[in-house]
Structure formats: structure tokens, C-alpha cells
Structure 1
Amino acid sequence: MPLRHFTPQTRPLACLLLATTALACPLSAHAQEASVDLPTISVSDGQGGSITVRSVAEARAALDLIPGGVALVTAQQWQNTPATTIKDMLDYVPGVFVQPKWGEDTRLSIRGSGISRSAHLRGVLLYQDGIPLSSVDGGGDFQEIDPTAYQYVEVFKGANGYQYGANALGGAINFVTPTGRSNPGAGIRLDAGSFGFARFQANVGGVNGAFDGYITGSYLSQDGFRNHSSGTNTRGSGNFGWQPTENVETRFYFNATDVQQDIPGSVSKYVALHSPQSANPTNVALDYERDIQAIRVANKTSFLISDTTKLDVGVFYTDKSLFHPIFQVLDYGYQEYGAFTRLVDERSIGGFKNRLVMGVNYGTGTVDAQRYTNVFGNPAQLVYMSNDEATTTTFYAEDNFYVLPDFALVGAFQYLDASLGRVAYLGTTSGGNDYQLFLPKGGFVWELGPDSQLYGNVSRSGEAPTFSELTNFAVGDIANLKAQTATTVEMGSRGRSPTFNWDVSLYRSWVENELQCQDTGVLMGLTCTVVNLSNTIHQGMEVGANWSMFQGLFTHGPAQDSVWLNLAYTYNDFYFDNDPVWGNNQLPGIPRHYLRAEMLYKHPSGFYAGPNVEWVPVAYYVDDANTLNSSPYALLNFKAGYEPPGGRFSVYVDARNLFNVNYIASASVTALAAPNQALFEPGNGRAVYVGTKMTF
């Protein structure tokens, strides 16, 4: 069925179509009352016009078709902050718990994914413009993520990232870059603040006929709040597109990263709360660091095969080195490459609208791993050497079938084939594991009105262990771990209006063989013994809201001032399910309640100001035995700025932890903690940041 002939009753499919081409689809009552007549696809307007990279409106329309918890965060929501870590990007997304540790290293958990991981990422898959960004074995890091380099971020919570082949319990995050078409011109930004923080960033983009390009780069330096936490990073990225015809576009991406970062390490609870700037003495003596140099290149080519079908194909390659003095000096070299294809087809079948998404992700890579004894941060004797190889293939499909004009049944599946192998040369034994998982999903999306929805799904998720989890540092062998799987039931609603937006989800996951990283108390949380737990339950509630409480306080007419309440509340109820050792104890590592709230005054001139809070009202346990916990805390922050209409200039002030509260931001977990075990990462003290951004 040609795209330009959708009727008002098929707005969900029309929006999908718009989301998969270069057109916009406003969510408005007028669109429900009038016939939708889509114009011929145009890619030469310079205001979006890309087939490979969707605009914000297109991406939001596509997310509305997913029968589960999703979110879209635009750069406008974090650009007037220090934007150092992904906490600045995602802190107001309910269901996402994200806490910085030191430098840009961040602990991330979505719906309890990887709650035991205090180093590196697991349980959430990363993408850039739909191209796999995580390591082939499923792990990941945040040091290569530059918040100043993206125009928006898509968050797929739980098993709602099926459309990209994401199979993890926590879902997926897709970082979307600007193009020369969406962001022509040049820009610079300067930021400075407490603890020696300074950053310079610049970007330039433009269009020349069928070609466009966008380049950005940044340099950041900071001393850090804690001792032995200083670091620098230099990051650059860009993309270049070519549209030889109105139905074809190819885009080349590159990313380069150079990170030099000291690691202060975990400390005891007493030290964290009474001497939070202290570093772990072992980290200082052995000069713990994490230094990364990485280059990534990728290509994505999109074909509009017909009025109803779009095909994406692409490839990617990463070359990364890690120099990582910890209990030993890790000197690792990573080389990974892969390919992907994704088809979106939307047509009428027997008089019913139907939308099909299907694709394949393939990745393979090697790790040249060497470890040396650590002598004051320098490599000495070689004690370990191996070559690790991982290959992962994911087949996926998701179909929305509209049995009624405003009600779609959704069916989906994924098939994951993961193989991890090790060839040992020194200090370990060779071995490997293979995993095959079939993961189905069923759900619905019900359009309650032009701007509101009710949704639900039942899904399966599954995760193979990563190489770092299969490595048993105590004995050097490949661990015999099972894949973690889960069955999740979810219900929720979302909607938008000019003065009120909401997003509410309820879910319950029955998790089998949950992978838990148990700190041994010896290696400062940077390595651990990973085990499969017995049955566990993850359930919770996610509430997000934006409410314009007052309008026209001091200004009247078409452009009024307003006071907005922005809220993100997450309730986590995670526990063992009749475990033979731990009974029904709470799972450690994450607060039961987490609240971010902001009251912001906005003036039509561009001035804004207001306080915000971060509140963890109840301490959480850090061990399976539930004998040692963190501490509750509440932080008061304040921000103000000026960003006049037109967006050519902005300035901000961001003051954090105004009362200089000593608190615990993150923690490692273990089975049974000692009272003074070094498991805790203190949060930053009082800090003030200022910045300005200019575009030309």
C-alpha cells in the first residue's frame, strides 16, 4: 500500500512510515481529524532530510509503536549541564539507575540489569545510530561516550529493544549523532567548574548538494573530587553522508578516543561517609589507572526500496587498546568487526495494516590479553597471556498487526548464537562456551487517543556471560557459567499534551541463573568472581512526568512564562526467590526507591532557574546475606541559565550538592560482607559548574 494514502485511523502506521523515511509526523488532534496525505520524500531541505539518521520527531513516532517502556531524551535536556557522564543524559529517565564513580566511569542498571557490576557494563546493549556499539561478547564501557557528540538518545527498557536485536534484561540504549543536514554551521562550548574541571568542544557541519558532513571534538581535564581520580580525555567523532538519489543514502562514521584516568577505588563505609575524598591506599601504591585508546569506523546504507519498504545494511570495525594497572597490569588489545541488516516493511494485509521489522546482527572479535605483575603502576613480569575470540549472531523480527485501527497485536522473537573461546599461552587453560537462546515476545499497543497509549507485553530475555565474567581470576580457568534468562510481564501507559506528559510502567521479571559479580575483598572491586544465582525476582514501577503547573505568572499573551515540575521515580523490588542459602533476601546493589525531581521556572526570553533534588530515602544492602548496607541520602541542587530563542547562544550555572552531603553513590556487592570491607564509592561534594555554548 503506498505510503501517501494512509487514512486518519491508521496514524500509528503512518507515523511508523514517517519514522522510517525522512518525513515528520506530528502527534496532534488535527492529524486525527483530517486526511493524511504524505508528500513525496524529500532529502534536500537541509533540516533533517537524512534517510540513515532519523529526526527527533521521526524517532519519537517510531517509539510510540513499541509495546513497552521506552524513552527519548534530546540534547536540549542535558546540554546546559557539565554533561560529563551518561548520568547527565539519563538521570530523568524512570527505571534507569545511573551513578558516576570517578572520571567518566559510570555504573548503570536498567530494571536491575548488572546490579552487581561495579566496573564495565553488562545487561544493557549500546548502539550508535542503530549500529552495534557494545563489545561482541556483550560487555561495554562508557569512556568512549561523549555527551556533547549526540543529538538525542533512545532508551529501550527491558525486552523492548527487539527492533535492534537487543536481548539483555536491561534493554538497549541508542546514541544518535547529528548530521550536516540536521546541524549545519559551526559551534563551540566552554565548561569549567569544581575539582579542576575544564572542557573545550567544537563542531562543524554542512551540506553540499548530495553530500553532507558533521565533525565534533572535545578535550576534557579534571582533577577529580577524590584523591587519585584525575584524568584527561580527547574524543573526536564525525559522519559523512552521500545521497546519490532520493531513495538511497550511505553514511560513514568514525570515532576516536584517548582516555587517561586514575582510579581511586572502593573504600569502607566509614571512610566513604567520613573521609570521602580518600582513595584506597592500594590504588595509590600501585597507581591504578584505566587508559584507553580506541578507533571505530562504520558504514550504514539505507535503501527506500518502495513506498512501503526500507532496508538498512552496514558494517563496523573497532581497534582498541587498554592499559589498566590494577592488581596486575592488564595490557589488552581488542579488534572487532561485524555487519548488520535491518528491514522495515509496512503494508496492508487482507485489509489490515501491518508493520514488520526484521534483521540480523553479526559480530566477531579477538582480545590479545597480557597481564604483568604491577610494580608501582608499571608492568614487570609477564604472568598471563591468552587470545580470546567471541562471535555473536542475532536474528530478530517484530510485527505489529492492527486488528483494529487503533489496536495492534505485537509478536516478536530473537535467536542468539554466541560462542566464546580462549587459547591460552601462559597462566591459564584453554577453553570456551557456546550459547544458543530463543527469545519470544508478545504484546499490544492500544491508542487511547491521539496522544496517549496503553501497552503491555510478555517477553523473554537472555544474556550470555562476557569474557570478563567467564574469567575466574582466582584459578585462571574459564568459568562454567550458564546464560542468564528471564520472563517479564509489563503493563504501562504514556502520553503527551502541551502542559502534561506522563510515562508509567509496571513490570515483573522471573530471572533464572542471574549473573552476579561477587567482590572478593582483595582486588578493590575491579575484578570479581561471577556466579549464577538461583531464581530471583525483579519487579518494580517507573513513573515519569512533566507538568506545567503554572503559566502566565509574569508574562501574558502567546508567549507566557511557566513553572514546570519534572519527575522521575523508580521503585525497585528485587529479591531471591526461596534460595536455599539466602531465602527471600533482597538482592544487593541498588536502592529500592530513587527519585529525581526538578522545579524549573522558564521565561519566554530564554531565562530559566530552579532547584532539583536527588533522593535515596532507604539504604540498600551490598551483600546477599543482607548484613551490610549503604546509607540513605538527599541532595539539593540548583541550576540557572539563559538561552534566548534562536539557540545561537546559551550560558548556564549548575550547582550540585549544595549542603555538601557525604554520601555513597555506588557500591560493589559480595555474598557475605565484612563490616569494613572496601565496597563503597563516595559521591562528589559541593560543586559549581559554569558553561557557555555558541553557534555560528
Structure 2
Amino acid sequence: MSHCRHGLRIRALSLCLAASPLAIAAAQAQGGNQSVALEEISVTSEGNGAPGGTPISASGAARAGLPPVAAPTPLDKPVGEVVTSIGREGVIDNRAATTVADILRNSPGVTVRQGNGPRDIVVSIRGNNARATGVSRNFIVLEDGFPVTQADGSSRFDLVDPRAYSRIDVFRGPQSPFFGNYATGGALNFVTRRGSEINGVEYGVDAGSFGYLNNYATFGGVSGPFEYSLFTSDTRGNGFLSHNSFNTQTINFLGTYAPTPDDRFTLKIINNQVFAELPGRSSLNQFYLNPFQRGCASAASAAPGCVLNSLLLNGRNGATVPVTADEGAFLRGDRRTIVGGRWEHDFDAFTTWRTQLVFDDRQINQPFYTSSARGDFPGFNVLTDVTRRGDLFGLPATGYVALAYNTLDSNSLTYNRAPYGGARLGALTANLEATQANLGGRARVELQLTEQWIAVAGISAENTTIQGRNITYGFPAAGGVTTTLANIDRSFLNVAPELSLLYRPDAAWQFRGRVATGYATPSASNLTVTSAGVPGNNGQLQTQENLGFDVGADWTPLPGVRFSVTGFYEFFRNELVTQSPGAGLLSYTFNAPASEHRGVEVGADWAFAPGWRATAAYTFDDQIYTRYVEQLSNGSLTRAFNRAGNHIPGVPANQLLARIGYEQATGPLAGLGGYVETVFQDDFFIDNANLLKAPGYAIVNLNLHYTTELVGYAKRLNLFFEARNIFDKTYVASAQNLANSISASTGLQNGASVLATTSGSIFAGAPRNFVGGMRLAF
């Protein structure tokens, strides 16, 4: 992926495009009328692919009088990818899935952390993005095939209410050949419930500890050529941390109109409004003293372990005053609006053309800690692609070719915070205006070599440009205002190929191997915060690139038995790592020249007796720097430290979800069930020198639920009750990486005791809590 290999990349892209749907169509033409109707083969890990069989095309479904559906694409049937599909049963239907974390823990390779707000969850796949504390990056997120990741790679999960979804597909490993920029870790595809599945109205309410309340409703149905589903929810609570109340409202709509058997129009609308008070992130010592920040209303009478942030008295310069989260009125008030449209046209039973346009606007108001960010980030995403099923050189094949373009305008203002009197703003410290655009093409071919062997090849080529300016304002003690202008003008060209091979000797076994690449360019915001944690020029950042190898096997000897294991080894170059230089300062990003991620993912599901089922998702993830020298400065002293061989901070080596449950299928207690689960996560380093660890934990949850069909106007009743963290374990739910430091007098690196007293890192997880709920279907 260096630019010096540009000619080789273009030739490789040309070869792959030659295997595109156009080439497949040409090969079919050479064979006259001997094209054959293929079985649609789906081979994924975890045993979650659809079974083989002759597919019903979207046009065929319309002619048969079935609800209009989108034609399947490689996104829906991801041959050759390492994918886990998490459905509703036992995960959404019968429990209080208060955040997306409750669902995604069920997939190997996924780590979830608390973000900046009770429903703001930071997700990482194979440790990519594990060091983030707010915006999620390094993987792509879609809903019903519409992108909800903006052009700068940012995704947030405030807008995600788990109740809305039918399933979530987790793509693990480098996915840039399939999804383009920022897919170094993988991708998530959220699939909402179809109108035909809902077929009426559902109303539900969940209530629990700490004032938690979620009222939600779902509407869905089919009327002739129309199919629609609408989900709405209002969620609020007081939070288990001090100064942590929240409320968020969500609307999620999906509608499809099929005016002809060969044409479908889809409309997607998401709107989310979030308000959340934010507590301070504590140091490790403060976490041990006062994990839930009790007695922290006032700095003057603060209890031991309270987190204090120093705000400028005049909002500009000079003297500061320590304040608590209450006194500083730290909060987030954000809105996200997404509107997408898609047209699909079937040229014939084997060829589908799709074109979609998405408008995505993110507005933020975030006056928390020592600065306040306000901004508007509107963007567009355009995709046009063709999927062709047929035969290539006499072999069954599926070809896919796509052209994608997305852009984002960043308009962001950063202010100092002023103490007292609410969320008051101080002086303007930075003004960022930038535009990022990504333009690229992707091609992919799935080729069935024999009944047992399938080969997949794919490639993407993409050009990214970032242009704009960042003005930084300073306020000298002598008075006046200084301005520093940093112009941004960066361009990145990236190419990512992929090859995979699958072998199915029989219906019970599948073996797979995959080699794939990924890339993630810096975003405009990465380029405008210096290593001192203040606005400025950080324009030297390079593209993050990774080369990953996967080897795995899936075993499904019986309908109630599934076992999957995947080993991965990924080599990173210029890995983008984000960390905080200290309390109240902005997180900055740097390139680690070389690093390695290696591990094992295991998924298992075993119905070992009538009504009984055991489920497990385990991940081992070992990540190290192999080439990185870090420079630390204090005053006039600067020292270099070789981090090669150190563990990359923020990534637990071991994590496990294990669940055992029982469902009564017959008799008077039919529909009654329950399970007990444990969530385990290893301790992990939170600094590059590997001096300080955030402690690991194991929590236990208990669930009881009951489902029954009703007679009359109401069709179905779901009831559930859940006790979470039943042993009341105090644990770390989120830990931001901390920058190491040196002594200003000796130049020696400060030890773990200094890091342990550095605040701005840790949020505690929820203590023992209870939540129950019901859902009625009409």
C-alpha cells in the first residue's frame, strides 16, 4: 500500500474488474443459452449463513404475491467473510437490552466499553478502536445496507435502540476490499425488523433501577406493493453515577415500494436526540476510593475520590478554579438525522443494479470538562453497484462491482469552559472548517470451484482528500488575542485486495482461510490536536494499514450443536493510536510505525438436553508494538523510550461471555424460560510503557422470561425480569489510555504511582441493578 506500488495496484484492480459482473455476462454470452440457474451458496463462520437452495429473486417474490424484498447482495450472503449473525431470540426478545453492548457481547472478537453518555457505547472488533472513549472508528456501520458511518470514519451508538433490530451481522477482520476506508477492524450491519415480521403494532415498556425507563412502540405491515416498519422509543434514567441523568428519543423507519416486479424503492429515516449529563473520568486511585462519585456535588465539600476539573475563572487565561461535574454542568446534547433512499432494478433473474443516496447530519453541543465542542457535520454518501449471478468460465459465480463516494463538511468550534452558572462558555479557542471526501471502486467475485471448494477475490481502490483550515486562538496574560492558522491539504490513495478459500467436505464441517487488507486514513479532527492535548497542527499523520490472515473451522454435526474457531494474525503499519495527555485535555492521535495483533476467537452453541442450551463467545487478543519509539517532554528535557515488545494499551487479552439457559416448550408452563450468564474481561494496560493496568472483572446476570400467545385483540405477551451484576462487583466499564510522562528535573520516566493519580480515565460499571418489562403485540 505505499504509493510507490501505484502501478502494480492499478494492474491488480484491472484484473479484478475483469472478473466483475460485466465480465461474467460476457462469459455467459460466449456460452450461448447454456446459462444455468445456480443454487445460492452462503458460507460464513459461526454457522449463520442461510442454507443452500434455489433463491427466490425479488422479482419472483413480487410475482408470487410475497412482500417486496431487496435482492440479496454479498452483504447479505457474505461468502468468504468471518461473520457472526446475532438474532433476536434470547438476546433482544426476552431481555432488557438497554444498549447495543448487550447484543454485541454475544459475538467473539467484539469488545464493548462505556462511552460519554449512558447509551453511548464504544465498540471495537479485534481490539481495533478499543482505545477510544467516545466516537467509534476503525470499522464501518450500516443499517439495512445504508451507511451510518460518516466520511471521516466516525460512528456513534446513541442512535441505536436494540429493540428495533431483527439481527446484527458482525464482520471480523480487515474489510476494506468490501467496505472501503476505515474498515481495518471489520463492519457491523444492523438489520431492522421487516413489516411482514411485525404485522401489526407492538408496545413495550422497560423499567428498572436508577430511574431507568424505556417506552417503545413498533408498527409494521404490508399493503400491496408497500411494506413498512416504524420504531419509536423514549429512554431516560438517572444513571448510577452522580451527575449522569439522561434522556434520548429515537425514530427509525424503513419503507419499501415495489411498483413493478423488477423495481423496488426503499426509504430509510433515523432521527435521534440525546441529552446526557456527564460525570468526570476518574484516576485509578479515585476509582478505588469513590467509584460512583458519591458526595461530589460541590468542590468545597467534596468527598475523598471526587473528580475535579480546573476551569479558567474568566474563561480566557490566568487563574483557575476546581469544579465538580455538577458545578461545571458537564453534558452532551447531540442530534443525528439520517435520510436515505435506494432504487433497485432487476435486469433479469440474475442481475440487480442498486443506487442509493444518504444524507447524514450530526450536530453536537458538548460542554464537558475543560472545553466545549459545538459543531455541525453534514455529509452525503452515494453508492451504485451491480450484482450478477451466473457462471464464469463454466463455473458458478457471483460478481459484484461498486462505485462509492462520500463526503463530510466539518464545522466545529472549540471553546474554553467557564465555571458555575450552568454550562457557560469561555473564549473561542479553535475554529475548524474542513471537507473530507472518499471516492473509490470495489470489485468482488465468488467462484464455486467444485461442490466442496469456493474461492473469493476482491479489491478496492480509494482516494481520500481532506482540505480545510483550523484557526487556534490564544489569550496572553498581557492581553489581546493571538491567532495561528493551520491549513489542511492532504490526499491519500489506498488499495486493498482480499483472497479467501473455503472447503466444505460435508454438511457438518467447513474449513476456511483468508488473507485481506484494510486501511484507515486520518480524519480532519485527528489532524488538529497536538500531543499536548490542545488545538493545533498534527498534520504529519499517515494512513493506518493492516494485512490480516485468518484460518478457521466450523463444525455443526447436529441442528443443536455449533462450534467455530478462528485464528487471526494481523500486521499493522502506522497504526492510529489515540490517548489523553492528562485530565481535561483533548485526546490526540499518533502513528505507531509497526504493530501486530494476533489471537483466537471461539463461538459455541450446544442444545445438550431437551430445553437446555449453553452458549459461549471467547476471544484471546494479544497486541504488541513491534516498532515504536515514543518521545516524552517536560520543560526543557526530552527523552526517547523504545516501546517495541510492549502491549498496546486498552486491549484485554481474554474475554468471555458464557450463558446457560432453559426454555419450557410444552405443558402449562410453555413459554417460561431463563438463563444465567457471566461476562468476563481480563485486566489491560492503559499506558504505552505498560506500567499501569485497569483491573479485570467477572459479573453474573440472571434472566427470567415468559412468552405466551393470546386470544382476541392482543396477539402475544412477552414478560421478563433481569438481575444484573447480582454479586455487586465494582468494576471498570471504561478506561481511557493515559500518556506517560517524565520528571522535569531528572528526565526519568514517572512510575505507575503517578499514572494512578492521573484523572481523566475511568468510568465505573453499574452496580447490582434490576430491570423488568413487558411487550404486547396487537
Q: TM-score, normalised by structure 2?
A: 0.81
Identify unmatched segments of 5+ residues in structure 1: 17-23, 552-561
- Paired with 2:579 and 2:55, the residues of 1 have a C-alpha distance of 58
Query: Is 1:318 matched up with 2:349?
Result: no
Q: 1:663 maps to what in 2?
A: 731
State the SS of the aligned residue for 2:178. helix
* Cα distance, 1:270 vs structure 2: 2.5
Counterparts in 2 of 1:4 and 1:146: CA distance versus 1, 3 Å? farther
* Cα distance, 1:11 vs structure 2: 5.5
Query: Is 1:401 matched up with 2:447?
Result: yes
| 8 Å CA contact 2:351, 2:389 repeated in 1 | yes
1:133-148 maps to which residues of 2 (within 5 A)?
A: 133-148=148-163
- AA aligned opposite 2:357: V
1:119-158 maps to which residues of 2 (within 5 A)?
A: 119-158=134-173
User: Once the two structures are superposed, what CA deviation does each residue of 1:490-523 show, in whole Å capped at 9, x if it has no partner?
Assistant: 1112344421112221100011111111211132
- Paired with 1:483 and 1:37, the residues of 2 have a C-alpha distance of 41
- Paired with 1:208 and 1:86, the residues of 2 have a C-alpha distance of 31
| 8 Å CA contact 2:571, 2:597 repeated in 1 | yes
Q: 2:649 maps to what in 1?
A: 588
Q: 1:268 maps to what in 2?
A: 283
Query: Is 1:97 matched up with 2:111?
Result: yes
- AA aligned opposite 2:442: Y
Counterparts in 2 of 1:424 and 1:27: CA distance versus 1, 3 Å? closer
State the SS of the aligned residue for 2:210. coil
* Cα distance, 1:44 vs structure 2: 6.9
1:45-194 maps to which residues of 2 (within 5 A)?
A: 49-51=68-70, 62-63=77-78, 65=79, 67-76=80-89, 77-101=91-115, 102-160=117-175, 162-165=177-180, 168-194=183-209
| 8 Å CA contact 1:166, 1:172 repeated in 2 | no
Counterparts in 2 of 1:141 and 1:167: CA distance versus 1, 3 Å? closer
Q: 1:577 maps to what in 2?
A: 626
* Cα distance, 1:25 vs structure 2: 9.3
Counterparts in 2 of 1:82 and 1:265: CA distance versus 1, 3 Å? farther
Query: Is 1:240 matched up with 2:255?
Result: yes
| 8 Å CA contact 2:206, 2:771 repeated in 1 | yes
Of 36, 41, 45, 1:12 maps to 41
State the SS of the aligned residue for 1:195. helix
Of 625, 641, 644, 2:705 maps to 641
Query: Is 1:285 matched up with 2:349?
Result: no
Query: Is 1:298 matched up with 2:340?
Result: yes
* Cα distance, 1:132 vs structure 2: 1.5
Deviates more, 1:595-604 or 1:637-646: 637-646
- Between structure 1 and structure 2, the one with the greater Rg is 2
- Paired with 2:605 and 2:690, the residues of 1 have a C-alpha distance of 36
Query: Is 1:356 matched up with 2:399?
Result: yes
- Paired with 2:160 and 2:441, the residues of 1 have a C-alpha distance of 27
| 8 Å CA contact 1:272, 1:662 repeated in 2 | no
* Cα distance, 1:154 vs structure 2: 1.2
| 8 Å CA contact 2:68, 2:227 repeated in 1 | no
- Paired with 1:379 and 1:37, the residues of 2 have a C-alpha distance of 59
Q: 2:507 maps to what in 1?
A: 450
User: Once the two structures are superposed, what CA deviation does each residue of 1:637-690 show, in whole Å capped at 9, x if it has no partner?
Assistant: 100101236882211111111111111122111342622122222111001110
| 8 Å CA contact 2:615, 2:660 repeated in 1 | yes
Q: 1:532 maps to what in 2?
A: 591
* Cα distance, 1:114 vs structure 2: 1.7
State the SS of the aligned residue for 1:470. helix
| 8 Å CA contact 2:178, 2:459 repeated in 1 | no
Query: Is 1:677 matched up with 2:776?
Result: no
* Cα distance, 1:37 vs structure 2: 8.7
| 8 Å CA contact 2:686, 2:738 repeated in 1 | yes
- AA aligned opposite 1:429: A
Counterparts in 2 of 1:361 and 1:226: CA distance versus 1, 3 Å? same
- AA aligned opposite 2:97: A
State the SS of the aligned residue for 2:526. helix
User: Once the two structures are superposed, what CA deviation does each residue of 1:295-343 show, in whole Å capped at 9, x if it has no partner?
Assistant: 2110011112112111211101122210000222211011111211122
State the SS of the aligned residue for 1:42. helix
Query: Is 1:545 matched up with 2:604?
Result: yes
| 8 Å CA contact 1:273, 1:663 repeated in 2 | no
Counterparts in 2 of 1:26 and 1:140: CA distance versus 1, 3 Å? closer
| Pairwise CA RMSD | 2.5
1:593-672 maps to which residues of 2 (within 5 A)?
A: 593-604=654-665, 605-616=670-681, 618-644=682-708, 648-672=716-740
- Paired with 2:351 and 2:508, the residues of 1 have a C-alpha distance of 26
* Cα distance, 1:239 vs structure 2: 2.1
Q: 1:490 maps to what in 2?
A: 550
Counterparts in 2 of 1:207 and 1:159: CA distance versus 1, 3 Å? same
Query: Is 1:346 matched up with 2:389?
Result: yes
Deviates more, 1:528-537 or 1:474-483: 474-483
- Paired with 1:61 and 1:382, the residues of 2 have a C-alpha distance of 47
Q: 1:556 maps to what in 2?
A: none
Query: Is 1:434 matched up with 2:491?
Result: yes
| 8 Å CA contact 2:68, 2:264 repeated in 1 | no
- Paired with 1:59 and 1:649, the residues of 2 have a C-alpha distance of 36
- Paired with 2:76 and 2:344, the residues of 1 have a C-alpha distance of 19
| 8 Å CA contact 1:47, 1:182 repeated in 2 | no
Counterparts in 2 of 1:321 and 1:3: CA distance versus 1, 3 Å? farther
Q: TM-score, normalised by structure 1?
A: 0.90
| 8 Å CA contact 2:74, 2:400 repeated in 1 | no
User: Once the two structures are superposed, what CA deviation does each residue of 1:128-163 show, in whole Å capped at 9, x if it has no partner?
Assistant: 111221111111211112212222111111124643
Q: 2:432 maps to what in 1?
A: 386
| 8 Å CA contact 2:49, 2:77 repeated in 1 | no
- AA aligned opposite 2:327: A
* Cα distance, 1:123 vs structure 2: 0.6
State the SS of the aligned residue for 2:693. coil
State the SS of the aligned residue for 2:357. strand
Counterparts in 2 of 1:370 and 1:60: CA distance versus 1, 3 Å? closer
Deviates more, 1:538-547 or 1:647-656: 647-656
- Paired with 2:74 and 2:455, the residues of 1 have a C-alpha distance of 21
State the SS of the aligned residue for 2:651. coil
- Paired with 2:577 and 2:175, the residues of 1 have a C-alpha distance of 23
- Paired with 1:639 and 1:645, the residues of 2 have a C-alpha distance of 20
User: Once the two structures are superposed, what CA deviation does each residue of 1:48-96 show, in whole Å capped at 9, x if it has no partner?
Assistant: 54126x6xxx999713x1x231111113322322222211121110000
Of 318, 335, 360, 2:378 maps to 335
Deviates more, 1:620-629 or 1:206-215: 206-215
Counterparts in 2 of 1:436 and 1:185: CA distance versus 1, 3 Å? same
* Cα distance, 1:484 vs structure 2: 0.5
Q: 1:27 maps to what in 2?
A: 51
Deviates more, 1:571-580 or 1:681-690: 571-580
- Paired with 1:46 and 1:652, the residues of 2 have a C-alpha distance of 37
* Cα distance, 1:625 vs structure 2: 0.3
Counterparts in 2 of 1:38 and 1:49: CA distance versus 1, 3 Å? closer
- AA aligned opposite 2:113: Q
| 8 Å CA contact 2:67, 2:222 repeated in 1 | no
Identify unmatched segments of 5+ residues in structure 2: 1-27, 294-305, 310-324, 474-484, 630-641, 741-751
State the SS of the aligned residue for 1:159. coil
- Paired with 2:736 and 2:564, the residues of 1 have a C-alpha distance of 31
- Paired with 1:465 and 1:379, the residues of 2 have a C-alpha distance of 29
Of 466, 473, 484, 1:420 maps to 466
- Paired with 2:651 and 2:50, the residues of 1 have a C-alpha distance of 38
- AA aligned opposite 1:444: L
- Paired with 2:509 and 2:717, the residues of 1 have a C-alpha distance of 35
Q: 1:474 maps to what in 2?
A: 534
Name the count of aligned residue pairs: 661
